[in-house]
Structure 1
Amino acid sequence: MHKNVLANSVRLALISGAAAAAFSAPVAFAAEEDGAKVERIEVTGSRIKRTDLETSSPVTVMDATEIKASGYDRVEDVLNQLPQIEAAETAFLANGATGTATVDLRGLGSNRTLVLINGRRMQAGSITSQVADINQIPASLIKRVEVLTGGAGAVYGADAVAGVVNFVMNDDFDGFAFNAGASGYQHNNDNKYIQGLMDNKGFDYETGGTGVDGKTYTMDITMGSDFDGGKGHAVAYAVWRRNDELLQGSRDYASCALNGAGNTCGGSATTPNPHFDMFPVVNGEVDYSKEYWGYLNPNGEGFMEDDGYRYNYAPVNHFMRPNERFTTGAFINYEINEHFRPYMELSFMHNRTAGQIAESGTFFNQEILLDYNNPLLSDLQKQQLQDFFGQTPDDQFVAYIGKRNVEGGARADNLEHTSYRILTGMEGDLNDSWAYDVSFAYSATTSSSVYKNDLLAPKIPPRVGAVGTECNVEDGCLLYNVFELGGVTPEQAAQLAGVGTQTGLVTQVIYNGYVSGEFDLALPTASSNIGAVFGLERREQTYERVSDTVYEEGQLLGQGGPSPSLYGEIIVNEAFAEIAIPVFDEWNINLAARASDYSTSGTDYTYSVGTDYTLADSYKFRFSYAKAMRAPNIGELFSSQSIGLWSGDDPCAGTAAEIAEAGYTQEMCANTGVTAAQFGNITKSPAGQYNQFSGGNPELKPEEADTFTVGLVANPFDNFNFSVDYFNIEMEEVIGTIGAERILTNCATTGDSLFCDSVERSSSGSLWLGQEGYVSNLGSNIGGRKWEGVDATASYSLELGSGTLNFDLNGFYSIKKEVEPILGDDSLSYDCSGIVSTSCFASPKWRHNLTATYSADDYSVSMKWRYFDSVDYDGTADTTLIEKGGIDSFNYIDLSGNYAVTDYLTLTAGVNNIFDKEPPMVGNTLASNANTVSGFYDSLGRFLFISAGLKF
């Protein structure tokens, strides 16, 4: 007897469907009167279509209603509200921004989160990012977002170590819709703490209310209709979005750059008034034991000792980048007959943004040889140096020069991305039990980075009179008069400015085909047949980033080092399969496996086992195990090795008292290469930035991970359901770096050559003056990760008056985020759960969203409580956080509502962060931008939004 799995799963679908996770989209099950037919759906994590939204692997769902109520039109802002997501690339980054938006599930990294559109993977986002750019996804057309925890590599391929984020688009839309919206931020600048710090420095800042700033304007249009007598359906959309820039100077808490301790306005020693770090040349060698550190005397022609003045570079930097984006696309489906149903998905995006940061400068980047015949030096300055160094007019000295290019204006990285995606395929029924799906997808992203108004390193030495160089005034060369206060003119600065350009193309080609269905076979104990999927896939990924000579040679002084061109290709051929086995009517087992052959790393295998058991018609227990892997991407394999910058602290720089206060001794610092003469005499980087030698490694192997989940989905009584899921992710052969600061501290405390061999100090002992000193921090398969946590969702509804009141909870509790820098060496392991440090992103133990929504016939009102647990500080640099005990817990209250004015017109408005809560302030060793963890906590204060929608 033929047993149809759909007909026999009606009861289970109605039970478990009612117990869907909080924030889930409603799923309709279309049944015939005799109950013989049920609509099947495809849920993230499996290609086997089923009647039950709840699978053996937990899936958190956010639907279009919640997205609309959030008021956000940037998809990264929408996702970053989920407790399971950590902020990655956002609009709140300026220095080093890629211009893309990325998603980081569980904090395991964006490169371990697979992003899908309608169950199919996206391409890399730009020439500077190896992961998907979710800017390409129009928020207005999202039907729902499904977030699957744990390895899904057996179903979708590599990169799904942390899980999958699948954007299900509204490709069955029918009618015409037009939406227009506006939003902005508002804040009251009344932070007395940082205002006092700025008063002490004499810095200007904004006070009082800002008005509405950082404004965003959006318009989108969507059209959908059947055609050819209902055989086909097409949906087309177009979205335009623009937001204004916001500078850090618009917020008092971001108007000065805090130092590493977080207790004073720090800034940069590269100031408008030039600073100099100078050493004598003795018998042809530089004597780094005798250092002169000072700057031009404002009251005379000579030098004066450094008085601690630092340039406040913060106000000029972007807090939120400007952006303009246009997106368009279409979804087309057509049924020739039940055996042939062609489909097509098209999308196009053009995105422009710019990351503005403070003026460039010489940044003490070069060791420049000078003598006392230099025409720019005054007689007083020459005499001062000769007296200090014990030299004669015939001697020489070297200088590191720090001069901020205020005469030339701010730097900006103009970033443009153009992406398109073409997917076409055919699906259909092979017979009553089996169907097929064959598709071809081509996607490409072209992008460019034009870095403007930075200073060119090769032009500096001849213009400051370096020995062996020449600046011919007759040919129009202007000397760069850094030895006279106010001596640099805009014309002199203009001769030093340069432009660096990078362009590139990222492509992805995917051939995919599979068959799905059920065998005419069932276990004797079950009334449903065994289902299966069998398929093949081929992916071809190419990556090309072309740097001009300026970038290739690292001529731009504000870039920290060269940015070479990058070329690479990865081809992978795969075979995959899934099997769903009903053991009993209440008990199912799901198996999946995938074999992947990579052109770069060979053949690897992934697999998963899942099971679910339904008890008493209201409780479903589920368990899954997955063996996942992630192959190294093109950047990790082929990036050139070069000098760049890392943010943090050199514990052996500063005075002897400062070093001792941080808990380090002279013997510890000697482990890192500090000589007795240098101890206590190495200048700290005022900006908290030091050199590192980093880059790709073509010998990398794939990462491996074991993922376990176990959970309960329950519907104990009417109108109430909940789910609780525990996950455990353990990774080995992790591709990454130990971290430059951790290498330094481990070297100091252990003396282990594994770390100390990676520390190369300059002749002066510095790791930031020039590029002679650095920490080698190359990528390799070095470590492990152990992540544990619990997801909890709940939903309750009741009839109230003429409407319905719903309560929805989505929470995440972090048990462990253990990082093993060197796999197997437990002494080096550290746990980031509940911690913030230079090695740990701010990771609250508990986060939740609790939403109460009242819905009536023509209106609804929602209030959301977003909670971030307190975070401890693990470190010594940020003394302010030490005094506070870390970052306090944060509570945000959001309010939104919509009203149907007519059958065709709906208004939506709301306020997020009603009480204008400021983000937590941290020192420059922890801040991602603007003295805070930007994009994670609400960064700009109160957010207001309004929109109007027409639908026919």
Structure 2
Amino acid sequence: MDHRNTRTAVRVGTLPACIAIALAPALAGAQEKAEKGATTLDRLEVTGSRIKRADIETSQPIFSLSREDISAQGLTSIGDVIQNLTAGGSSLNSTFNNGGNGETQVDLRNLGSQRTLVLVNGKRWVGGTGLGGAVDLNTIPTAAVERIEILKDGASTIYGSDAIAGVVNVILRQNFEGAEANAYLGQFDKGDGAKQSYDFTIGTAGERYSAMVGFGYVKEDPVLAGDRYISKEPTYTTGNFYGSGTSPNGRFALCPGGYDPAAGSCKGPQTSFTGRPGTFTYDGRGSAPRPYVPGVDAYNFAPENYLLTPQERRSVFGNASVDVTDDVRFKTTFTYNQRESEQLLAASPVTLGTTPNIPDLAEHVYISKDSVYNPFGADVSRINRRVNETGGRVFKQDVRTFAIDAAFDGVLRAGEKTFDWQVGTFYGENKANNTTEGLFNLIALGQALGPSFRDASGVAQCGTAAQPIHGCVPLDLLGGVGGITPEMIAFSGFTAHDEFKYTQKNYYANIGGDLFELQGGALGFSFGVEHREESGYDSPDALINSGNTTGNARRATSGSYDLDEAYLELAVPVLADVPFAKLLDFSVATRYSNYSNFGDTLNSKFGFRWKPVDDLLVRGNWSQGFRAPSINELFAGQGDSFPSLTDPCNTTSFPVQSSVARRTCVAQGVPQGGYVQDGDQIRTTVGGNTKLKPETSQSTTFGFVYSPGYAEGLDIALDWWQIKIEDAITTIGAEDIIQQCINSGGVGPTCGLYSRQRGGTVGRLVDTTTNIGGTRAEGYDLTLGYRLPETSFGKFSLTWDTTYLAERVDDLDGDGRYGEDEQLQPAIGQPLNHDEGGNLVGEYTDRDNQWRIRSNLGTRWQKGDFGATWNVRYYSAQDEVCNPRYEADGFGYLCTESSRYVGIPTDANSNGVWDGAAGGDRIDSRKESRHHIGATTYHDASIFWNSPWNSTVTLGMNNLFDKNPPIALEAFANSFDPQYEVPGRFFYMRYAQRF
């Protein structure tokens, strides 16, 4: 059984009674005993405050999930559980295949996962393999979790950097006595995506000691995108039309005059078999080469991708405590977690020669006219060939996380006063060994595609008969599907081996207690000092680091910093038990932080609580916050990224630009009317910036908690919140870099970040981290909990938690104006919203959801040994800009609102223009086709039975009504956003045995 004494349970931390439904009966029982004199409630440390107190309601909104709440969701990852919260936003999870790395992150308020602080037992958790930018929740053993507390407010003054959008505090099991085993099995109704989880915990406790150890194992199988109709095409219902321009048969062009690898161009005109410049496709099986037709010849890469990525996790966790003396206790907690995860993408595209937007080194490689596999008698200057013979690109991670916290705490007596103190240290380490299969070595490709010959036995060899290249195997990229042998792949291909490591060391000491009495009670304080050291490195494979690969180049990253901090927090009880002030108190805190890399910062907060009557608590909080740049943001070596980019100067976007923007496009080498953009993904240089400063924030909340005496068990909490971020650590974005430049007439600061090649194609674009602009978000949180009186039908309870997002506006250019001038002329494919002053609420962009409403309703029924839960999750509708290419290509039906205009249309047949000469003011409307992303509701249900042999059997189904996610046309590499559920019903069974 799980025996927890009152002192220990309270010290770990608990939550406001208005929302901690699961804890309410235990707290009520303890209070009843206190009134009878049997015991008294110990003071406790609440998430968001370092001061221990007997009153668990704070000036800040907090939400709690108990172990039972977590179990009822039928999920195997703590990260997935937290992402289902209404305050959660877009962040990594196992549905992120292209661009994912097996991590699961939490993103409160949709302000970025790097702005949510994750704690374990109140201590800062070690950063993920992103080198400190965000925590990977999969590194926390699921089986070890007792409950989760979510502080929906900034808390930098209490916990330091990163606590801008809120704090997630994961509380691990403590003082466990007995033994418990759990088993979980589940899978989709389609027969895939199986999940299994097993854990075992054993513990003992005595008068002066406790000890516990547990073991956990989780395995999650994949779901392939081709096994769901909604994801088997790059863009829903368009077949392969919007697939990749790099196909298994290939896309080529010739250099009759010879190729100059040093210049990366033909010595004469590049031609195709049509007699004019262009490209051709060729299957190598006797068919004549023919012109490559965009869209028609595009490759459907979708079926070969994971829709849900697999992973396997093993964990060991434990804790122990011993009373050294009556006033001193030693405590330690340790965790070890290993995650093996995998992502699968379509086979590697080999893009060489004059193919647009490729690394410089790839321009040096072409197919020689003297290759035995070249039937054309001319150098092949452009090469786009997807090598399906490799079986795809496989990304594997082996991540090992170790953390240990050790501390002495106790009571210091000074006369009649006692003070709580603690001194301790935390060490956390994240280490990953990653491999990538299916890549090609550019140096080897240069040899394998160069001159070759056949020896006397007819075997193809690299080089010439006079100078053979021993060990080299000529490569046949022109032979069509199946023309590449395993021996060819063995020579030209390679497997990349990368290593990551992130280390965090904390040393802390604090003391707190009561100083003196005021009318409302004792003035409490907490004072503490902390020292933290963080370091990390990313050591990519040597070929990746050098850029000699068909994959994305990435330079090595290494760096560290340390800091010293001191904080002071005061709880000032002003009034108590007087008319119109049953309680009035203030909380004040300040934190000083001194970083080795950028200097110091001081942040403060003020909060209040006021109870005019017993049933009503009014509360508010104002706090300053900051986020220090992470190791990766500071020190990341420059590398390649290929974001989807719709060039504002292409033929589709050019006509709707301002006159100044159009003239700038032409001045940069773009033909009048725009150029035909060859592919959406543009090579972009990304990396860190050692000159970054911390971003700052201000958070404000105001609300009330109402627990009417006439409705016992009913608690209502309503809070307004606003967060404002300045000097944001971010990247400008590839499209915005180009758009801001052409809007400025070619003289703006972003113009030096990109260049164009002949014909207008973007050739070089740099988008590294910087401090610029900010964000302002505002909304309301409503939480209603009701524990109905027990009846002959059993016990019923419900929790309804809703977040309403009222405003989300950005300051993109750093001029301090939020949403006022930011969207006057955005990149095509981004929302305009002139009629809403730049408010992005309800506007969807790629993997960035701005739901106006997210709402969860959880209900629970129990009668005797039987019970059931029914949970409902609601996501409100969104809209996205429908790219003009859909109408141009004959897929206009995808744009559900094709006649929408921004502003007042002066000509119903006009797309509208913008007068740059007039400072960007609108002189005509702009047609903006839209696509509506419908509201979505998921239903999850479970039933359970408590057996006579002290076990619990649970059967459940998530997505009970088989709700498909809504179509999102701009979602990267898919047709729906990964924050929605994978299509299909998910069945599961859980068995828990207690000893």
TM-score range, shorter chain: 0.7 to 0.9
Return the offset for 1:542: 1.2
| Cα separation, 2, equivalents of 1:498 and 1:372 | 22
Could you list the per-position Cα deviations for residues 176-213 of structure 1 after superposition, in whole angstroms to 9, with x for gaps in the alignment?
A: 11001101122xxxxxxxxxxxxxxxxxxxxxxx2x21
Instruction: Report what 2:290 is aligned to.
Output: 304
Selected match of 1:543 from 536, 544, 553: 536
The answer on whether the counterparts of 1:98 and 1:129 sit within 8 Å (CA) in structure 2 is no
| Cα separation, 1, equivalents of 2:160 and 2:438 | 43
Selected match of 1:411 from 381, 393, 397: 393
The answer on whether the counterparts of 2:368 and 2:374 sit within 8 Å (CA) in structure 1 is no
Could you list the per-position Cα deviations for residues 408-461 of structure 1 after superposition, in whole angstroms to 9, with x for gaps in the alignment?
A: 221111100111111111111102431101111111111111111211222223
The answer on whether the counterparts of 2:106 and 2:116 sit within 8 Å (CA) in structure 1 is yes
Instruction: Report what 1:782 is aligned to.
Output: 772
Return the offset for 1:679: 5.5
| Cα separation, 2, equivalents of 1:877 and 1:491 | 45
Where in structure 2 are the equivalents of 1:435-834 lying within 5 Å? Answer: 435-465=420-450, 470=463, 475-486=470-481, 487-519=483-515, 521-523=516-518, 525-526=519-520, 528-559=521-552, 562-585=553-576, 586-653=583-650, 656=651, 658-659=652-653, 668=662, 670-671=664-665, 675-677=669-671, 680-685=674-679, 688-716=680-708, 717-751=711-745, 753-767=748-762, 773-798=763-788, 799-824=790-815, 826-828=820-822, 830-834=838-842
Does 2:845 match 1:845? no
The range that moved more, 354-363 or 863-872, is: 354-363
| Cα separation, 2, equivalents of 1:906 and 1:581 | 46
Could you list the per-position Cα deviations for residues 140-165 of structure 1 after superposition, in whole angstroms to 9, with x for gaps in the alignment?
A: 33222111122211111111011100
SS in 2 for 1:835: coil
Could you list the per-position Cα deviations for residues 437-492 of structure 1 after superposition, in whole angstroms to 9, with x for gaps in the alignment?
A: 1111111111111111211222223322379x957656242222223445433332
SS in 2 for 1:823: coil
The answer on whether the counterparts of 2:840 and 2:850 sit within 8 Å (CA) in structure 1 is yes
Return the offset for 1:18: 4.5
Return the offset for 1:548: 2.7
The answer on whether the counterparts of 1:21 and 1:793 sit within 8 Å (CA) in structure 2 is no
Return the offset for 1:40: 2.1
Could you list the per-position Cα deviations for residues 801-852 of structure 1 after superposition, in whole angstroms to 9, with x for gaps in the alignment?
A: 24111121011011112121111154225433211024x7022100101122
* Gap change, CA 1:741 and 1:474, over 3 Å in 2: closer
Instruction: Report what 1:198 is aligned to.
Output: none
| Cα separation, 2, equivalents of 1:238 and 1:159 | 31
Matched letter for residue 912 of structure 1: N
Does 2:56 match 1:56? no
The answer on whether the counterparts of 1:24 and 1:61 sit within 8 Å (CA) in structure 2 is no
Instruction: Report what 1:930 is aligned to.
Output: 974
Return the offset for 1:642: 2.9
Return the offset for 1:762: 2.6
Selected match of 1:911 from 957, 966, 986: 957
Instruction: Report what 1:951 is aligned to.
Output: 994
The answer on whether the counterparts of 1:692 and 1:775 sit within 8 Å (CA) in structure 2 is yes
| Cα separation, 2, equivalents of 1:841 and 1:278 | 42
Matched letter for residue 768 of structure 2: L
| Cα separation, 2, equivalents of 1:18 and 1:593 | 27
SS in 2 for 1:448: strand
* Gap change, CA 1:673 and 1:758, over 3 Å in 2: farther
* Gap change, CA 1:375 and 1:222, over 3 Å in 2: closer
* Gap change, CA 1:116 and 1:280, over 3 Å in 2: farther
- How many equivalent residue pairs? 881
Specify which structure has the bigger relative contact order, considering alpha-carbon pairs within 8 angstroms and separated by 6 or more residues: 1
SS in 2 for 1:347: strand
Q: Any gaps of 5 or more consecutive residues in structure 2?
A: 1-5, 271-275, 453-461, 577-582, 824-837, 887-892, 898-930
Instruction: Report what 1:218 is aligned to.
Output: 197
* Gap change, CA 1:662 and 1:269, over 3 Å in 2: farther
Matched letter for residue 774 of structure 1: R
* Gap change, CA 1:303 and 1:264, over 3 Å in 2: closer
* Gap change, CA 1:358 and 1:610, over 3 Å in 2: same
Instruction: Report what 1:854 is aligned to.
Output: 861
SS in 2 for 1:70: coil
The answer on whether the counterparts of 1:367 and 1:400 sit within 8 Å (CA) in structure 2 is no
Return the offset for 1:19: 2.8
Where in structure 2 are the equivalents of 1:67-82 lying within 5 Å? Answer: 67-82=70-85
SS in 2 for 1:911: strand
Matched letter for residue 295 of structure 1: T
Instruction: Report what 2:966 is aligned to.
Output: 920
CA RMSD of aligned residues (A): 2.9
Could you list the per-position Cα deviations for residues 67-123 of structure 1 after superposition, in whole angstroms to 9, with x for gaps in the alignment?
A: 111010111111111011124121112223222221111111111111001100101
Return the offset for 1:919: 1.5
The answer on whether the counterparts of 2:283 and 2:479 sit within 8 Å (CA) in structure 1 is no
Where in structure 2 are the equivalents of 1:8-23 lying within 5 Å? Answer: 18-20=17-19
SS in 2 for 1:91: coil
Could you list the per-position Cα deviations for residues 500-546 of structure 1 after superposition, in whole angstroms to 9, with x for gaps in the alignment?
A: 11113211110011001001x223x32x1100001110001111222
Selected match of 2:183 from 162, 180, 185: 180
Identity of aligned pairs, percent?
26
Selected match of 2:984 from 929, 941, 947: 941
Instruction: Report what 1:190 is aligned to.
Output: none
* Gap change, CA 1:349 and 1:755, over 3 Å in 2: same
SS in 2 for 1:555: coil
Does 2:250 match 1:274? yes
| Cα separation, 2, equivalents of 1:628 and 1:340 | 34
Could you list the per-position Cα deviations for residues 274-314 of structure 1 after superposition, in whole angstroms to 9, with x for gaps in the alignment?
A: 10255676998757897322211677564311123111111
Matched letter for residue 494 of structure 2: G
* Gap change, CA 1:92 and 1:878, over 3 Å in 2: farther
Matched letter for residue 640 of structure 1: G
The answer on whether the counterparts of 1:262 and 1:922 sit within 8 Å (CA) in structure 2 is no
The answer on whether the counterparts of 2:233 and 2:239 sit within 8 Å (CA) in structure 1 is no
| Cα separation, 2, equivalents of 1:241 and 1:857 | 31
Selected match of 1:116 from 105, 113, 119: 119
Return the offset for 1:757: 2.7
| Cα separation, 2, equivalents of 1:67 and 1:805 | 18
Matched letter for residue 678 of structure 2: K
Instruction: Report what 1:254 is aligned to.
Output: 231
Q: Any gaps of 5 or more consecutive residues in structure 1?
A: 1-5, 187-209, 383-392, 768-772
| Cα separation, 2, equivalents of 1:878 and 1:243 | 38
Matched letter for residue 515 of structure 1: I
Return the offset for 1:673: 6.2
| Cα separation, 1, equivalents of 2:661 and 2:587 | 58
Return the offset for 1:774: 2.8
In the superposition, the TM-score normalised over structure 1's length comes to: 0.87
